[in-house]
């Protein structure tokens, strides 16, 4: 079985680049959206809102417009050669409903560009990895509190976008190794996101069969310990975790304590597990590149990128 390969890295951003904000999942708070777009504009970016960002589904209030509209916004932005990056406005729920309405062959034929988001956007990260072969950013979204109100969060994303060579080593003051594995550093390719979305993607056309050679990044929000146990158990039973070489845990915001559950379920994999790495839901978060080659050092509790996240 072949190891997971690093994906094509989009180019880094420069002042003057045109970027588009999309809403693939839930409805967007206008005040937060405006504030987030002001931050992007202050970085020198030309910010455009996709046509349906402000929409709300006519029947179900938890969706930002119709599935067709959300899919169209994403595909049009990606296939527009004048666009350098796509930023998701927020998560919530809904990305999976529109996944099969996207023409992934057309998306794959277009020039790679930055794609950033997290939470429900995890499903789209998987699709861009498996259907397009492009590295993406598990990153704060434009219309969420952490991006708008936490300077460290927005600054880490800015550096990743414009100065990716300055963020080759990722860690957190709270990071700690909770399983040593073999004790030494391991090399692999980053994959992951929100646990429930990764589980929901199994056996779908946009999911992947296993994580052979992958370093799995996991986070979640508002979850019970037994539900995380169920997700991890399902991943194990399907064989999806076969060949994974390391695990890095981000935030468990508003969750029950999760570290013991992870070690109890995944400890037998014999791979290093680092906890409290500071990405995902919460008041502050760091940007984590997906689809890039890294070295996980359980001794130092760090992830070191082989190359910058963006080219």
d(CA 288, CA 170): 8
DSSP 183-243: SS-EEEEEEEEEHHHHHHHTTSTTS-S--TTEEEEEEEES--HHHHHHHHHHHHHHTTTTT
Q: Give me the active site residues, please.
A: 119, 219, 281
For the chain, give the longest Cα–Cα distance.
Answer: 54
CA angle 46, 49, 50 (to 5 degrees): 125
Q: What six digits make up the tokens of 199?
A: 């589980």
Tell me the β-bridge partners of 33.
none
């Amino acid at each position: 079985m072949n190891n997971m390969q690093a994906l094509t890295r989009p180019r880094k951003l420069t002042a003057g680049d045109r970027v588009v904000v999309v809403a693939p999942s839930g409805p967007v708070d206008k005040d937060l959206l405006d504030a987030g777009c002001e931050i992007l504009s202050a970085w020198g970016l030309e910010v455009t809102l996709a046509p349906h960002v402000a929409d709300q589904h006519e029947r179900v209030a938890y969706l930002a417009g119709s599935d067709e509209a959300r899919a169209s916004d994403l595909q049009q932005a990606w296939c527009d050669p004048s666009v350098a990056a796509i930023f998701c406005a927020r998560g919530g729920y809904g990305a999976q409903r529109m996944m099969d309405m996207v023409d992934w062959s057309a998306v794959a034929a277009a020039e790679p560009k930055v794609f950033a988001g997290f939470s429900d956007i995890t499903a789209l990260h998987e699709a861009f990895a498996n259907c397009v072969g492009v590295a993406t950013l598990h990153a704060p979204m434009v219309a969420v509190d952490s991006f708008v109100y936490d300077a460290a969060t927005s600054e880490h994303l800015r550096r990743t976008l414009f100065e990716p060579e300055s963020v080759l080593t990722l860690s957190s003051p709270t990071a700690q190794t909770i399983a040593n594995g073999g004790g030494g550093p391991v090399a692999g390719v980053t994959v992951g996101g929100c646990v429930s979305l990764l589980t929901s993607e199994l056996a779908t056309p946009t999911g992947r069969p296993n994580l052979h050679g992958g370093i799995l990044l996991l986070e979640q929000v508002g979850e019970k310990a037994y539900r995380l146990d169920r997700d991890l158990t399902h991943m194990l039973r399907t064989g999806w975790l076969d060949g994974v070489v390391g695990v890095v845990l981000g935030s468990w915001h508003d969750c029950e304590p999760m570290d013991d559950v992870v070690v109890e379920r995944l400890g037998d994999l014999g791979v290093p597990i680092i906890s409290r790495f500071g990405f995902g839901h919460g008041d502050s978060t760091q940007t984590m590149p997906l689809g890039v080659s890294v070295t996980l050092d359980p001794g130092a509790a760090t992830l070191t990128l082989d190359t910058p996240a963006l080219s």
